[in-house]
Amino acid sequence: MTHDFKTSAEIVWCPGCGNFGIWAALQKAFQELSLKPDQILAVYGIGCHGHMANYLKINNFEGLHGRALPLATGAKIANQNLNVLAIVGDGDQLGEGGNHLVHASRRNPNLTCVLHNNQLYSLTVGQASPASEKGLKTKSTPWGVFDPPLNPLALALASGATFVARGFAGDLPHLTKVLVAGMKHQGFSLVEVLQPCPTLNYLNTFTWFKERVYKLEDKGHLPQDKTESFRMTQEWGEKIPLGIFYQEERPTLEEQLLPEKDEILAEQSLELSIEKLLTEFR
């Protein structure tokens, strides 16, 4: 049976927003993985991307700006049976939550981080984010951005991520394929999605991306080759690669932390003996 993952909530994204494509590709990915709505948890950052909490009929949790990854990691430890996603923005995850991307990459919890990269803080109407292009004039950078953009794929790879990939909100079949592969991966998977924001980002538009993107798989890229994968994460400008940059198998955080596979913490009794705890910590 194919499940419906769409709620009836009114959608407040601007017409033509790249978030629509990511929303559609996620629903398709859940269907391809034959998942039921109650088997999935998505934890969101704060931003336009976070509105998706209202539009996906799954378990949803919106926490603090930038903190989706530690929340998602805790949820996965508490219930290994859940398919856990962290749905985050570039400002959210690379600015406020930058350190969490580094540590999730090292720790390797079995969850998927979907990074909506519109290269701006959009919900707060267009300030530069750590992913904005150098020179981009925004409300917070009237003289243009001075700093080079942070590269989330290179950062994750250098921090030990076991699955690093990129999709484009304007290519749904390919994005769906990448999301399915990321969710199937046993360990931490980062899927950056190039997400045009037609209301505020006049530079990185659908057309701008369409003229530049190509698929790594068409070039015979080998995702096992870490050095080559890192080199590919540096390509940006005339040509922009999409697809799986890197994948390796490594024990997950839960496998190491909870060797008793059948022990689901969320199903344990909540009855606590305070006396027993006090004795234990004395």
8-state DSSP, 212: T
**Sign of the CA dihedral 21, 25, 28, 34?**
negative
List % helix, strand, coil for the chain (3-state, nearest 5).
35, 20, 45
Q: From the list 22, 29, 42, 48, which residue makes contact with ligand SF4 (rule: CB under 6 A)? A: 48
Six-digit token string for 175: 């994005």
| 117 binding ligand SF4? (CB under 6 A) | no
In whole angstroms, give the CA distance from residue 106 to residue 114. Answer: 17
Q: From the list 26, 46, 183, 242, which residue makes contact with ligand TPP (rule: CB under 6 A)? A: 46
Q: From the list 21, 89, 182, 196, which residue makes contact with ligand TPP (rule: CB under 6 A)? A: 89
26 vs 157 by CB, closer to ligand SF4: 26
Q: Which residues pair with 145 in a beta bridge?
A: none
- Could you tell me which stretch among 25-33, 192-200, 203-211, 267-275 binds ligand SF4 (CB under 6 A)? 192-200
Q: State the number of binding residues for ligand TPP (CB under 6 A).
A: 19
Name which of ligand SF4, ligand TPP, none residue 109 binds, using a CB cut-off of 5 to 8 Å depending on partner kind: none
- Could you tell me which stretch among 37-45, 178-186, 198-206, 261-269 binds ligand SF4 (CB under 6 A)? 198-206
Q: From the list 3, 7, 11, 14, which residue makes contact with ligand SF4 (rule: CB under 6 A)? A: 14
Tokens 């219930």 locate to 79
In whole angstroms, give the CA distance from residue 1 to residue 56. Answer: 18
How crowded is residue 92: how many other Cβ atoms within 10 Å of its Cβ? Answer: 29
Q: Which residues pair with 114 in a beta bridge?
A: 87, 191
Q: Least distance (Å) from ligand SF4 to the CB of residue 51?
A: 7
**If DSSP codes are grouped into helix, strand and coil, which group holds residue 145?**
coil
Contact between 194 and 214 under an 8 Å Cβ cutoff? The reply is: no
Six-digit token string for 9: 């909530």
| 129 binding ligand TPP? (CB under 6 A) | yes
| 49 binding ligand TPP? (CB under 6 A) | yes
Q: Least distance (Å) from ligand SF4 to the CB of residue 76?
A: 27
| 171 binding ligand TPP? (CB under 6 A) | no
Per CB under 6 A, residues contacting ligand SF4 are: 13-14, 17, 19, 48, 118, 122, 197-200
